[in-house]
Structure 1
Amino acid sequence: MNTVIENQMPQGRKRSIPQGTYLAENVKAFGAQSRTESVASRLRPIEDTVVMPEVMNEPAVVNTVGVQPEGFGKSVSWRGEDDLAVVAFINPADDLGVAIQGVRDQDTIQMISATGSASFDEETKNAGIPSLITVVGEAAGLTAAAFGAAVAVPFIKVGETYAKEMFKEKQVKTKVRDAYGRDPKSRDLARQEGGVLVCFPAATGIWTSGGDKDAWIKEGQTAETGERVDANRPAHVVDAYFLRKGDQQPHASAGDGDLFLSAWDYKFGDNLGTYEVHFLMKRGVPQHPDPVERRDEQPGRADHRAPGNRRHP
């Protein structure tokens, strides 16, 4: 494993990542850091732009660690008020996952799609390539359509090609899980490993599973054993939620700081494959709800930044 897992509770574990240390931890694991501007700044439609004070109108930044494709990184620094359309390629052997930095309390994350599969077989080996994250859209009022935009599609294909080549599985016969933790053959939901976990800033790190069944997803009283609803989360997993098929509702963040997406497991070094996740990030409460200037002066045109349009349950 690349990192040390810290025991936080008798029956649960967490990879503790104090605020401001995420990139430093990744540099230790994967190599030197560089900083590049997000492609999203080139995707913003001018006619819909609301000009905000300069400090709040900065485009997001993709932070690259080690060797990654151009425009992709290990984290995204969210610096402005606009929504983000984000694509992540999660290597299940990477126990640091990916991060959105600059998240504020009550900002929301909305999963649009989650695909791919990974093997959690202890006999397989992975070279230890960092996960990928990038922004394919940055504007007010983004929807799922942002991922199908003509400018975004070729860029996403670059990430898919890279992930398929670098995260490929050499043995995919046992413990195969999709992005929701389901075994594609048996159709059972795994409880100990597999799928994607989202940890909000208040978690101050990435929760993991363990060898003890008390650290697994609970069997629960739901129609299906191990369904990944909040009631079935292990007791130690707080300020977090599991991606679940059909759940495309916005989830409000808890706390300010770094939000993490990672594979659910506790032995990461033996994993192979990739999870591709498309999701929207939206501000919960804009810091400056009143625009300074509008570039279009069409009467009756809705203000995308009005508080009523920017809040998400």
Structure 2
Amino acid sequence: MANAYAVSDGALDAPTETSGSGTLSRVLAEAFGTFVLVLGVLSIGVYSFLNQSGAIGVALTGGFAYAAALVAVGHVSGGWFNPAITLAQAIAGRVRWAEVPLYWLAQLVGGFAAGAVLFGTLPDKLYELLGKENNAALYAQGANGWGDFSPLYTLSQGGATFNMLQAGIVELVASAALAGIALAVGTKNRAVMAAAGGLGLAALSVVAYPVTGAGLNPVRSTVAAVLSMDWDGVSGQVWLFWVAPLVGAGIAALFAVAFGPQESPEGIETFGTEADTYDDGTDGGTDDTPDTVTADSTDATSTDEKKTN
């Protein structure tokens, strides 16, 4: 009897250029996912004076936005939406190095598109009502920084803050943890991707927010820094929010390569190669014949033997 729950041959294949999820599809998916993530995180930061959300608001918004983007397009591109996570995946051998610049470019385009939408929809004269010089000053509220630009400095009214080294350590460790989650989860199950990625980002954002405003993503930090246009202040600190996340993600990937299983875990596929396929669970992984065909063949053989007897 045929297996009623069997899927057609190739239905679970990982994205490849021959199955309709080629380089262009993956790049567009990364741009879209980054757009959703950055729009959510920056919106909650720029309008923080209205929602009084603080760390919890930033964490929940980022986590939900990340989870939604993962469910929508994570199965197409891998769902990195972050240059640091993309680097970790490349080090782990799960995306071609030649495609890393394309992923980064797509992420930047998606991030700046989100920033432009938010910037272009800010109400007129709002900055004057809030005692700001211009709309760019509103963006500074969502930018990442340390010292006088650390959220702790504002919350304590200048009584306490974090220095550059402390900010760098927190961003590095949090980014390493986020990249480790992405490496461990893979891309086979969208629900698991969304739950682990969203909850992971939310929890790490709560930890990092008082220190730096929770960067954890070079694109998110760059968009806020550029649109803040304060290069003598918070915008000039954006370099740390590239270095720390990239180093942290690289360390996480090296640990995964050194101490992880030699074979790719079930449910994790390599993007950007012609050999991208999911493990179908058969021994050796080379038999493309569905289990249902084998079962039907066995039943037919048994019937023929009975008739002969």
Structure with a larger share of its residues in helix: 2
Structure with a larger share of its residues in strand: 1
Task: Please say which structure displays the higher CA radius of gyration.
Answer: 2
TM-score, normalised with respect to structure 1: 0.30
TM-score, normalised with respect to structure 2: 0.30
